Chain A
Amino acid sequence: MKRVGVFVCHCGTNIGAVVDCPQVAEKAMDFPGVVYSVDYKYMCSEPGQEMIKKAVQEHRLDRVVVASCSPRMHERTFQRCVEGAGLNSYFVEMANIREHCSWVHAGEPEKATEKAMDLVKMAVAKVVKNKPLQKATIPVTDRALVIGGGIAGIQAALDIANAGHVVDIVEKEPSIGGKMAQIDKTFPTLDCSACILTPKMVEAASHPNINLLTYSEVEKVEGFVGNFDVTIKKKARSVNMDVCTGCGLCMEKCPKKVDSEFELKMSKRRAIYTPFPQAIPNKPVIDRENCTYFNTGKCGICSKVCPAGAVDYTQEDEYLTRRYGAIVVAIGFELFDYSVIGEYGYGKYPDVITGLHFERLVNASGPTLGKIKRPSDHKEPKNVVFIKCVGSRDPAKGKSYCSKACCMYTAKHATLVREKIKDSNIYIFYMDVRTPGKGYDEFYNRTREQYGANYIRGRVSKIYQQGERLIVRGEDTLLGRPVEIEADLVVLATAMVAQPGAGQLAQKLGIGYDKDHFYTEAHPKLAPVETHTQGVYLAGACQGPKDIPESVAQASAAAAKVCGLLSKREMLTEPIVSEVNESICAGCGMCVAICPYKAIELKTISERIQGQTVERQVASVNGGLCQGCGACTVACRSAALNLKHFTDQQILAEVNALCL
C-alpha cells in the first residue's frame, strides 16, 4: 500500500476564505492510502515546503498530494520540493482547489468545501497509480533562428549574437527593417525612426555571428527544442549577391516602373529594385512578375548595364535546411483593411489615407520629400481630420482589441502637421485617449495645449466628397451634437492585425494563436515570451499590438530565453510523452496522421505469429518531438497508446474516485 500525504493550502484567503481547509484535511484521512494530512496558510512558502519535506521523512510518505492552486502555477515548485525529500518528482499530484473551486464558487462555501474534498480524493486516487518518470537529456544545437527582420527580430538577433551564439535572420522582403523603416518620427521623443533603426540594421548586417537570409521564407520546420531542422526557401533574387556591388545602375536604367510597396503605392519603383535607399542588404532583386525580360524575353537592360555582371536571369529558388537550437518568431503585424468599412468610403476617396501613408507623406525621403501633400491633387491640406479606432475596439466590423499605439501616433501626426503647416486645423475623433507610458500623457497634453489639436469625442458616421473637399460627419458625444467638418485630408488610425500568413507559420512551428491570429504566449503573466512549444519564443507585434519600445523589450526578453537555452550543451526533456504497447498496436497509422508534431512514425518489427516469424508495422513515438498533447491516445481504438503520467488507468482511477 502506498503512503500518501495530503497538504491543503489556504493560499492566504484565496482558498481559505471559501473552502474550509482544516475540514478538507481531516476528511482526506479517510481516503484510501492517506496516512498523513495537514493544512497550512501558504504551502508554496519556504516553511510550507519544509513542512512537506519533514512529513515525507517522519511519516515515510511515498506519494504527495498538494491541494492548492493550478499546476500551471506551482507544479514545478512542489516537484522540486518532493525531489528534495528524496521522492521521484512525478510522485506529487496537485488538486486545484483555487481556480477550479474557491475562485469560482465563492458564493457557496459549503458546496465548495465538498468539491474540494472530491478534488483531493481524485488526486489521491491518481497519485497512488503514478509511476516514477525520469527526464532524459538531448543535445542542444548552438544556433538560433529569428523569423522576421523588423526591429523586434533585429534586436533579438543582436542580443543573441552578442552573447556569442550564431543567429540566422529570415526576412521575406528583400531588406530587413520592417515597418519601423517606413515610419518617419517616433513618439514621444520625435526622434527620426530611420536614424535610430539603420545603425541597428548595419550592426546586424556586419555582425560576425549574424547571417541575413533576406527574400527568404520558412518552408518547413521539423524536430524539437534544441534540434529544429528548418527548411528555408531562398527566393531567386536574379542578382548574384556575391558579385553585386550595389552601385544601383541597374535600377536607374530599368525601363519598367511599378508601384512601390514601401511607399504604399504613392510612388514608383523599378522592376529591379531595393525597397528603400538604406536597404540592407543594399543589393537589388528582380521582381519577376513585373520584369519585362521575364514576361516577354526581351529587354535585358539591367544585365547589359551591370558593370559587375551580377544579373543572373537563370537563378532558381534555393532551399537550405539547417539545424537550430531555438527559434524566435518576430513576424510583426499588418494594418487592418479599412476598405470594408462603409463610413469611410470603402477606400474610394484618395484623400482618405492610413497612418502609415501619412508616415510616408511626412517623411523627407518619401514620395513628397517630406512636404505634406494630399494624394489627389498634391495640394497642401489645411483641415486635417484624424479618426482613431478604425477597426480597433469594433467587434462588429473589425477587431475587439485596442491596437495600443494609435492614440500616440495620432497625437504625433497632429503635431507634425501643425509644425509643417502653420495655418492648419487638426480635428481628432476618438473614443478614448489611452496614453499609459513614460512621457506619453505629457506628449498628448502638449498636442492639445501647445499644438492646438481639437479632440472630438465621438465616432464618424460618414465621409463623402464635395467638390475638392471631404465632408466628415460625426457626433460630438460630450456636447451631444452633430459635427460636420470640411476636410482636405482624412487620416485613419487603422488597427494592427496579424500578418496574413501568421496562421500557417504557427502551424508549421506548432505554436498556438488566438482568434485574431496573434500568437499565444505560454502564460500571459509569467511566460510572456515563451510559447507552448519548447524552444520557440515570441518577440514583437506578432504576439499582440505593441509599440516600438515594447517590441524591443520583448525581443531582448526572448533573446535572454534563447541564450539560457543555447548556453548549455544538453538539456533535460519532459518525460510526459506517449508510449506504444507494441503487442496491441495494429499498425493502422491513425496516430501518425493525427499527430500535430509529427512525433509518430511506423516501424517494422518481427515477431512469431502462428508458428512463423512475420514482419509487421507498429507505431513508434519520438520522445523528443512528442509534446504530450494526447491526441494519439484518443485516436487509438485499441488503446495501444498511452500518455505517461496521464495513462488511462490513472485517469480512470480519478473518475472512479469521483463516481463510484
Chain B
Amino acid sequence: MEDLTLVLRRTAKEILEKGEAQMVIGWEKGAFWYSSTSAFISKPEDTERLIWDEYCVNNLAKYLLDYRHKEGKVAVFVKGCDSRALNVLLQDKQLKREKILIIGLACPGMKDEVEARKLGRGSSIPLYKKCRECRYPNALNYDFFIGEDKVIKEIPAQDDFSEVQALESLSPDEKYNKFVANYERCLRCYACRNICPACNCRECIFDRTASGWSSKANNVSENMFFALTRALHVAGRCVGCGECERACPVNIPIMLLNKKIIQDINALFGEYEAGTDVTAKLPLGGFEFTDPEEFM
C-alpha cells in the first residue's frame, strides 16, 4: 500500500497541475495511527498529504454533493463501496457524471479502528465486519484505475443474512423488545443520515417538523419512527457500506434493519444489488406495465 500511496499522490498532483479537476478528494492521516480521514486537496503541493493505508474507511462519495455547484470538475478516489455509493448518487440524479473524475482503487478491506485502539500498535488488527463480508472491494465505475484491477481480498460467495434470519426467528415480543433496546439509546444526532450516501434529499423530512410527520422529541416512539422511516427511505438504494453504523456514537446496529430490507427486496422484486449498475432501474422506483398489481 505504501507504493500505491506514491502513485495516488502523483496522480492527484498531475490532475491538479493539468487542471483536469479543481479539487481532489482522498484520504490523509488523522490524529491517531489508527485513523485516516478525508482530505480535500486543491493545490498540487498539498497532494503530499494524501495517503492510502488500511484505515481509509471513510466513504468519500457523498462529499461530492458539497461541490456539485462549483465550476469545473472534482476528482475523487473510490473503493468498491465508495463506487457503489457514487453510482446511487448518479442514479438519484444528484451528480453530473461529466463533472466528476473518478479514480478507482482495489480495496483490501479496512481495519477496525475501535479494535485497533483496544489492541494497540503492532498487534494483528482485524478488518471491519462489513469489509470481511464485502463482495465488491474494487471500484466498479471509474475513469481510470490505480494499481491492478484484480481481486485482492477473499470474496464471500453471497451476502450474509444470518443476523437477519436470527432476528426473524424471534417472537414478535422479543423482536419488539430488541428494537426498543436498540433505539431507546438513539440520540437523534442524525450522524447516520448525514454520512449516508443514499440520504441525499435537499431537505430531510426530519428537519421539517412543521410538516407534521415527526417532532424533535427524543423518545422511543419518535426514535423508532425515525429509524423505520430512514430504513424505508433508503430501501433499494442502500449499498451496504455500513457508514451509518460506523458513525453512530451509541453503536446501534443500524445495518440490521437495512439488511433485512435488502433481503426482502431480493425475495419480492428479484435479486438487486444497489449501486452495482448505474443504468439499473431502482427496484422500488418505477411503474411498469408488467407490475403484478392486478387491482391497478
Q: Which residues of A contact B (CB under 8 A)?
A: 504, 507-508, 512-515, 583-590, 593-596, 602, 609-610, 612, 614, 617, 631, 635, 637-640, 648-649, 652
A352–B286 CA distance with the chains assembled, in angstroms? 47
Compute the total of residue contacts between A and B using a CB distance below 8 Å.
70
A586–B295 CA distance with the chains assembled, in angstroms? 31
Q: Give A514's nearest chain B residue, CB to CB.
A: B294
B212 / chain A contacts, CB cutoff of 8 Å = 648-649, 652
Contact check, A594 vs B213: say whether CB atoms are below 8 A apart. no
Q: How far is the CB of B29 from chain A (nearest CB, A)?
A: 30
Query: Given A594-B287, A617-B93, A648-B213, are A639 and B205 neighbors across the interface (CB < 8 Å)?
Result: yes
A609 / chain B contacts, CB cutoff of 8 Å = 69
Most buried by A among B202, B204, B294, B295: B202
B200 / chain A contacts, CB cutoff of 8 Å = 586, 588
Q: How far is the CB of A576 from chain B (nearest CB, A)?
A: 19
Q: Give A614's nearest chain B residue, CB to CB.
A: B69
Contact check, A593 vs B296: say whether CB atoms are below 8 A apart. no
Contact check, B287 vs A631: say whether CB atoms are below 8 A apart. yes
A617–B92 CA distance with the chains assembled, in angstroms? 12
A513–B294 CA distance with the chains assembled, in angstroms? 7
Of A602, A610, A640, the residue contacting B69 (CB under 8 A) is A610
A504–B296 CA distance with the chains assembled, in angstroms? 12
Query: Given A504-B289, A594-B285, are A588 and B69 neighbors across the interface (CB < 8 Å)?
Result: no
A638–B213 CA distance with the chains assembled, in angstroms? 11
Most buried by B among A508, A631, A637: A637
B69 / chain A contacts, CB cutoff of 8 Å = 609-610, 612, 614
Interface residues of B in 195-245 (CB under 8 A from A): 200-205, 208, 211-213, 233
Of A512, A587, A594, A595, the residue contacting B93 (CB under 8 A) is A587
A588 / chain B contacts, CB cutoff of 8 Å = 92-94, 200
Q: Which residues of B contact A (CB under 8 A)?
A: 69, 92-94, 200-205, 208, 211-213, 233, 281-282, 285-287, 289, 294-296
B203 / chain A contacts, CB cutoff of 8 Å = 583-584, 638
A652 / chain B contacts, CB cutoff of 8 Å = 212-213
B289 / chain A contacts, CB cutoff of 8 Å = 504, 507-508
A512–B200 CA distance with the chains assembled, in angstroms? 35
Q: Give B91's nearest chain A residue, CB to CB.
A: A588
Of A504, A596, A602, A649, the residue contacting B287 (CB under 8 A) is A596
B204 / chain A contacts, CB cutoff of 8 Å = 638
Q: Could you give 25 example pairs across A and B, Cβ below 8 Å?
A: A514-B294, A515-B294, A584-B208, A586-B94, A586-B202, A588-B92, A588-B93, A588-B94, A588-B200, A589-B93, A590-B282, A590-B285, A593-B282, A595-B287, A596-B287, A609-B69, A610-B69, A614-B69, A635-B285, A638-B201, A639-B213, A648-B211, A648-B213, A649-B211, A649-B212
B93 / chain A contacts, CB cutoff of 8 Å = 587-589, 602, 617
Q: How far is the CB of A652 from chain B (nearest CB, A)?
A: 4
Contact check, B213 vs A593: say whether CB atoms are below 8 A apart. no
Q: Give A596's nearest chain B residue, CB to CB.
A: B287
A165–B287 CA distance with the chains assembled, in angstroms? 35
Contact check, A638 vs B205: say whether CB atoms are below 8 A apart. yes
Q: How far is the CB of B194 from chain A (nearest CB, A)?
A: 15
Contact check, A593 vs B285: say whether CB atoms are below 8 A apart. yes
Contact check, A593 vs B202: say whether CB atoms are below 8 A apart. no
A648 / chain B contacts, CB cutoff of 8 Å = 211-213
Q: How far is the CB of B281 from chain A (nearest CB, A)?
A: 7
Contact check, B201 vs A593: say whether CB atoms are below 8 A apart. no
Q: How far is the CB of A521 from chain B (nearest CB, A)?
A: 15
A513–B289 CA distance with the chains assembled, in angstroms? 13
B208 / chain A contacts, CB cutoff of 8 Å = 584, 638-639
- The 7 tightest CB contacts between A and B, nearest first, are A586-B202, A638-B201, A507-B289, A593-B286, A652-B212, A588-B92, A614-B69
